[in-house]
Structure 1
Amino acid sequence: MIDVHCVTFDCAQPYELATFWRDATGGELHPDTEKNDDEVLLQGGRVDLLFIRVPEDKAVKNRVHLDITGSAGTTRDEEVERLADLGATISGDHRNPDGSGWVTMLDPEGNEFCVCRAEYERV
């Protein structure tokens, strides 16, 4: 058995992308973070997120992505709206009339993630 220490994102602007995910998740930037750092650690969730500056642009679909759900009673649809207000965009809407399904979104640097219904929405 292993523990996942963190999920790492290659990106062009680590501070800006970490700030988006901080606002999305409610995590906290590492206390020593500076705006021009090449690596920015976001802490406080079940798994830390690490953003590392790389010179190349994102060119293809992610091979790994996050599936996220709302918390504190928010619905999937409310989370989609909140994340869009923070700067994410919808790239695929897979919601079904019966309430099942998910929404594929892109963060400000084009990294895919899915917003799914939380367990409390399925009862």
Structure 2
Amino acid sequence: MILRHVTIDCADPYGLATFWSAAIGWPMSEEDEPGDSEALVEAPAPAPGMLFIRVPEGKTVKNRIHFDWMPTERTRDEEVERLLALGAKLHEDHRAPEGPGWVTLLDPEGNEFCVERSAAERGL
């Protein structure tokens, strides 16, 4: 089997897909438009895409699954600042004074995701 998409329930598929497309640099499907009931952020092969689907109910509890992102071109702290400027919100800051740790952010609809230190910061 191949994991084709990670599907995320939301109120505004196009709006949330636009945020994630800008956040991770993957393109949105050219078929999607504002107001559509679903929107796709296309991942580079072989990674699964991110499919956003409109649902009537809002998010009410902590996600049972979330993304952990590791920057490739910036430090963790630079990436956090960039994502905040795109519309993410700070949820929990787990950075330690000596450098390790991660930051938990919320996307525009309140879904949690984490930003870890880059490979360079980890000495990899």
Normalised TM-score (structure 2): 0.93
Corresponding residue for residue 8 of structure 2: 9
Paired AA for residue 100 in structure 2? S
Q: Are 2:42 and 2:49, in contact at CA under 8 Å, matched by a contact in 1?
A: yes
Corresponding residue for residue 48 of structure 1: 49
Corresponding residue for residue 20 of structure 2: 21
Aligned counterparts of 2:12 and 2:41: Cα–Cα separation in 1: 14
* Correspondence 1:35 to 2:34: yes
Secondary structure at the aligned position of 1:28 is classed as coil
Corresponding residue for residue 63 of structure 1: 64
Corresponding residue for residue 103 of structure 2: 103
Query: Structure 2 matches for 1:78-89, cutoff 5 A?
Result: 78-89=78-89
Deviation at 1:3, TM superposition (A): 3.4
Q: Which runs of 5+ in 2 are unaligned?
A: none
Aligned counterparts of 2:7 and 2:70: Cα–Cα separation in 1: 19
| Number of matched pairs | 121
Aligned counterparts of 2:26 and 2:114: Cα–Cα separation in 1: 18
Task: Give the share of equivalent positions with the same residue, in percent.
Answer: 55
List structure 1 segments (4+ residues) > 6 angstroms apart after TM superposition.
Answer: none
Q: Are 2:40 and 2:51, in contact at CA under 8 Å, matched by a contact in 1?
A: yes
Aligned counterparts of 1:4 and 1:54: Cα–Cα separation in 2: 22
> What does the per-residue CA deviation read over 1:83-121, in whole Å, with 9 as the maximum and x for residues that have no partner?
000000110000001211000000000000000012221
Q: Which runs of 5+ in 1 are unaligned?
A: none
Taking only aligned residues, the RMSD between alpha carbons, in angstroms, comes to 1.0
Richer in strand (by share):
1
Q: Are 2:17 and 2:39, in contact at CA under 8 Å, matched by a contact in 1?
A: yes
Secondary structure at the aligned position of 1:117 is classed as coil
